[in-house]
Chain A
Amino acid sequence: MRQSFVDTIIDLAKNNKNLFLLTGDLGFSVFEGFKKQFPKRFFDVGVAEQNMIGVAAGLALSGKTVFVYSIIPFATMRCFEQIRNDLCMQDLNVKIVGMGAGLHYGIAGSTHHAIEDISIMRSLPNMTVICPATPEDTRNAFRAAMLRKGPVYIRLGKSHGILDCKSKQRFSVGKASLIKNGDDITIIASGAILYDAKECADYLLKNNNIKTRLINMHTIKPIDKNIILKASKETKAIFSVEEHSIIGGLGSAIAEVLAQSKNKALFKIFGLPDAYPKSFGDRNYLLKKSGLSAMKMASDILKVLRGR
């Protein structure tokens, strides 16, 4: 994902003389190419995220489009009020690129995990929240963010390869992509955990003949209400899957839509518990511990369907 991001931003910078890139001293072995090609539009502002957002706001108020980069907690939480006051209140063209969605920094520990960021960013007026799942999503997300007016938050994980996706629809902010169709249940996933959701759907088909409608909700704000309401009418149950706290993320966004509609679909949120992990390990270890493995989700889905 990092490579797709850096290739795309170099492409964008070639065609947009107003594109600036700021980093909070991160991006070793990532940004060297950009820095070499566009030395006047690249700034490592140092380990000072509040200033990074403020400087980005000043550049944006002067007509620039600014991408800012750091690890998610530092890019979104350390400088939250600058994002709120400087970027969102003034609706500025600053695109926050956060690396390390959910548990991607695994063994680095809780300071580097990002389990609250979607909830926080989603609550900000004017903010768009995009969580790419695939390298292609990432490329599309950056192109879309460049064109979209106002602040955008792009939440990146690591690449988990090409996803075999049947959807031929064009990427559009606020329009989810259908990965595969099905009429029994719906799984809506966001970010790299989409790969595990797909594995879960494949398992359910193979072992239980359950046909899953699998949706990639790459944009969490604005959320694609239509695809949620359609699924609630046409399938028996909806399951959301995210690498984020069960509070305030994708599941909450879907629940907000469902709870205010007359369709009463069965609904369950798969996400990280409302807790900081007490045992440490890599991403796969932590996901498994949190019940976010494909197998565990499949067995939980079967339980829900059986009414247990």
Chain B
Amino acid sequence: MDYQAIAKGLRKQIIMMHAKSNGSHVGSALSSLDILIVLYFCILKIDRATIGSKNRNTFILSKGHAVSALYAVLAKKGLLAGKYLKRYCINKTGLPGHCTKGCVKGIEVSTGSLGHGLSIGAGMALAKKHDGLRSKIFVLLSDGECDEGSVWEAAMFAGHHKLNNLIAIIDYNKIQAFGRTKEVLDLEPLKDKWEAFGWSVKEVNGHNFKELSRVLKNVPFNNSKPSVVIAHTIKGKGVSFMENKLEWHYRSPDNEQLKMALRELE
């Protein structure tokens, strides 16, 4: 599968969605996109045929503010009609700016306030074990989200109960809402923290499709532990003037910037 081509097309789509709606968080969406592509096109096996099945994998976008990337991926997967993407974050839309359960078939958990998704994922992982289902739960968190104490409550719980069917992915672009993670609240040593909480950890380049798919195909990394993938990413990835810039956590491209971004992605 030509991940590069898919990623290029979806980046354009996402930038147009943000330009039209003036919606925030385009930088976060571009940071997460490649991870979402690998999940949906290689790992999860969620599509129109399997979405109704009980024994399929589940995905939770705990960093709900990156939902524009998820909408674009779901549309590409045929789980959401592409025409709705134009209605992202405008009045009367069914596609609001954070994950809202029930709006779109593929969005199964409401998120937006950080630090909720991992606990919910742990509950789902428990239920799967109880019911003897072998499928897995994947939860994508942001780096700033790891400031929330509830993330570590969930991490401790999942480690204690050896939830090997729970996989967390950290989109570690090193920029949170008001500054660099290093300056706001340093997460390092992040790998050691997860290991100390009973998780098995792998670090990857979050924009390298080969690496991402190789690692995500190999979960659980340890059969008696939950797995976490620390994905090193770049905020605003793919558009030179957005990359690594805090302001694209909030701004949306104007007409000129939209043209420039689309030209870069040709």
A residues lining the B interface (CB < 8 Å) = 40-41, 43, 45-46, 48, 50-51, 53-64, 81-82, 85-86, 89-90
Across the interface, B123 reaches (CB within 8 A) one of A56, A85, A89, namely: A56
Across the interface, B149 reaches (CB within 8 A) one of A50, A59, A81, namely: A50
Flag B136-171 by CB within 8 Å of A: 1 or 0 each.
Answer: 000000000000011001101100100000000000
A45, B157: Cβ atoms closer than 8 Å: yes
Secondary structure call for the B interface? helix
Across the interface, B153 reaches (CB within 8 A) one of A41, A51, A56, A59, namely: A51
Q: Which residues of B contact A43 (CB under 8 A)?
A: 126
Is there a chain A Cβ closer than 8 Å to B128's Cβ? yes
Closest A residue to B101 by beta carbon equals A90
Is there a chain A Cβ closer than 8 Å to B175's Cβ? no
B110, A89: Cβ atoms closer than 8 Å: yes
- Size of the B side of the interface (Cβ < 8 Å), in residues, is 30
B residues lining the A interface (CB < 8 Å) = 100-101, 108-113, 115-116, 118-128, 130-131, 149-150, 153-154, 156-157, 160
Q: Which residues of A contact B108 (CB under 8 A)?
A: 61
Contact flag A51-B126 (CB < 8 Å), given A57-B120, A58-B120, A85-B116: no
B110, A51: Cβ atoms closer than 8 Å: no
Contact flag A59-B124 (CB < 8 Å), given A48-B157, A54-B154: yes
B157, A58: Cβ atoms closer than 8 Å: no
Task: Name the distance in Å between B165's Cβ and chain A's nearest Cβ.
Answer: 12
Closest A residue to B125 by beta carbon equals A58
Across the interface, A85 reaches (CB within 8 A) one of B113, B153, B156, namely: B113
A63 to B127, CA, bound (A): 8
Which 5 pairs show the lowest CB-CB distances between chains A and B? A58-B123, A54-B119, A62-B127, A51-B153, A55-B123
Task: Name the distance in Å between B16's Cβ and chain A's nearest Cβ.
Answer: 29
A43 to B113, CA, bound (A): 25
Q: Which residues of A contact B127 (CB under 8 A)?
A: 58-59, 62-64
Contact flag A90-B110 (CB < 8 Å), given A40-B130, A57-B119, A57-B120: yes
Please name 27 pairs of A and B residues whose Cβ atoms are closer than 8 Å in the assembled complex, sorted by A: A41-B130, A43-B126, A51-B122, A51-B157, A54-B119, A54-B122, A55-B119, A55-B123, A55-B126, A58-B121, A58-B122, A58-B125, A58-B126, A58-B127, A59-B127, A61-B123, A61-B124, A62-B128, A62-B131, A63-B127, A82-B116, A85-B112, A85-B113, A86-B116, A86-B119, A86-B120, A89-B101
A109 to B156, CA, bound (A): 30
Q: Which residues of A contact B160 (CB under 8 A)?
A: 46
B123, A57: Cβ atoms closer than 8 Å: yes
A51, B113: Cβ atoms closer than 8 Å: no
A292 to B139, CA, bound (A): 50
Contact flag A50-B109 (CB < 8 Å), given A57-B120, A59-B124, A61-B124: no
Q: Which residues of B contact A86 (CB under 8 A)?
A: 110, 116, 119-120
Across the interface, A62 reaches (CB within 8 A) one of B100, B112, B124, namely: B124
Contact flag A59-B118 (CB < 8 Å), given A54-B154, A90-B109, A90-B110: no
A55, B122: Cβ atoms closer than 8 Å: yes
Closest B residue to A22 by beta carbon equals B123
Closest A residue to B118 by beta carbon equals A54
